[in-house]
Amino acid sequence: MPFGMVSRFLETEARALLTRLGRVKPFVLHMPMLPAAGISPSALTAIERFLAQGRGELQGLVMKFLAWLTSRAGNDASPAEAQRRFTFLRLRFNAILTQFDIFADVLNQRSEHENGVWLSGLDVAAADALAIPGGYFDMPPVICYLDRGHGAAIRRARTRLPGGGDNPVAVVRVPRERMVGAGIASSLVHEVGHQGAALLDLINSLRPVLQGLQNKGGEEQLAWSLWERWISEILADFWALCRVGAAATTGLIGVVSLPRAFVFRISLDDPHPFAWIRVVLSCAMGNGLYPHGQWDRLARLWHAFYPTAELDPQRSKILVLLESTMPAFVALLVNHRPRSLRGKSLGEVLTHPQRSPERLTPLYRQWKALPGQMFAAAPSLVFAVIGQARIDGHLNPEEESKLLAELLTHWAMRNSLDTTAQCALQLPAGTARPA
């Protein structure tokens, strides 16, 4: 076959890629949303820069391919070789579009009535839950979106995206069934905890310690191997407990309250602790962080929901081993001093005295009399207070849903106005400021 025909066909196909690439516009040109529903400027800037870099790279690859087609090497190449080069170019093009779609799916929801503004409020809450004093890491932007499914998830910042490149922002997926009501704080802050643990390199810090305990042998070896396998999910639960208190445990109960067969399904390959032990561990960690009698009451409630008396001997043995090592494991977590925390322990850095039940309960009564204080408080503290009020019986589900909707809207509006004010203050001298 004459190479001229091959060259003309592949040239038009490559130029077609350029025309479609030209249709991929920056989000700021075609995303309709209320100002209060928008993502933070830092998140939008990071996304736009990342995608612009990908578009520029792809455009360069297409132009390089077109130049190769007309070169001596291209004229000497076989049709199969030319098609092979174009095929890889098109795969790269599709990967760039996949990255665009990841963020488009998130941003499209910002135009949904109410949900868009609430998602912006969740962005603010997520950022607050991730932030810890001390300057231990650089905060990545966090954005949230809704999706079907039972559980939440996160695409962490600085992890590889499909097609290459590091994700410029943390993207948290929140189940629609949790919007807006009980458990939303637990799901959100658990996923934020995955990002925080990665930024502090906690998994790599703890795994050698847990492996050392396994190497001691004995009956407890299996328990320590399971704690190590589950450490990623456990650290995320630990982070949520530190930031929102018992709301993390009650929200977890809402997620993993499944038919009995699933609650006791033990898979040695699953990175998630099986549901029954996960709730028991949450209560134990809560008591290790913020000692109080409520954790024992929650654990007894969980035991009543899912009694262990009729379990088979193998499962019973695993439960006994895990519960016998649990106090030592919780103490290890609370007192662990990773290099990233510069000599401080996890308990010292992540906990806050205000999150203890003794402080949360009177704080809710105070806020009922002075609601302005609640709306001015940090979102993670507000989640902790509301969760504690639910446990204490001072807040019913209907009131909670209404209050959370108001709070999310307020956080979104406050953040939007603060951002606008900051931008106005940074205008060049002589530029007219908005009235």
Q: Where are the domains of the chain?
A: 3-108, 200-350, 353-425
pLDDT of 1 > 60? The answer is no
Residue predicted with more confidence, 210 or 31: 210
Measured in whole angstroms, the distance separating CA 291 from the mean position of its chain's CA atoms is: 27
Q: What integer is the mean pLDDT of 13-27?
A: 81
pLDDT of 31 > 80? The answer is no
Q: What integer is the mean pLDDT of 247-266?
A: 93
Contact 142, 43 (CB under 8 A): yes
pLDDT, residue 425, reads 62
pLDDT, residue 57, reads 86
109-118, 153-162, 224-233: the lowest-pLDDT one: 109-118
pLDDT of 49 > 50? The answer is yes
pLDDT, residue 51, reads 85
pLDDT, residue 115, reads 86
Contact 289, 351 (CB under 8 A): yes
100-142 pLDDT, tens digit per residue, is 888 887 888 888 888 889 999 999 999 999 999 999 999 999 9
20-24, 316-320, 426-430: the lowest-pLDDT one: 426-430
pLDDT of 170 > 50? The answer is yes
> pLDDT-derived band of residue 237, with 50, 70 and 90 as boundaries?
very high
345-386 pLDDT, tens digit per residue, is 999 999 999 999 999 999 999 999 999 999 999 999 999 999
Kindly provide the b/e burial profile for residues 19-56, where b requires at least 16 CB atoms within 10 angstroms of the residue's own CB: eebeeeeebeeebebeebbbbbebbbebbeebbeebbe
Q: What integer is the mean pLDDT of 75-88?
A: 89
pLDDT, residue 423, reads 62
d(CA 124, CA 55): 30
What percent of the chain has pLDDT above 70?
Answer: 93
> pLDDT-derived band of residue 424, with 50, 70 and 90 as boundaries?
low
Is residue 401 packed enough to be buried (19+ CB in 10 Å), middle (13-18) or exposed (0-12)?
middle
Q: What integer is the mean pLDDT of 255-278?
A: 92
pLDDT of 33 > 70? The answer is no
390-412 pLDDT, tens digit per residue, is 999 999 988 999 999 999 999 99
Mean pLDDT of the chain: 89
pLDDT, residue 204, reads 96
Q: What integer is the mean pLDDT of 82-110?
A: 85
pLDDT of 323 > 50? The answer is yes
11-15, 148-152, 232-236, 358-362: the lowest-pLDDT one: 148-152
* Side chain identity, residue 76: D
Nearest-CA neighbor of 263 among 299, 303, 297, 317? 303
* Side chain identity, residue 174: V
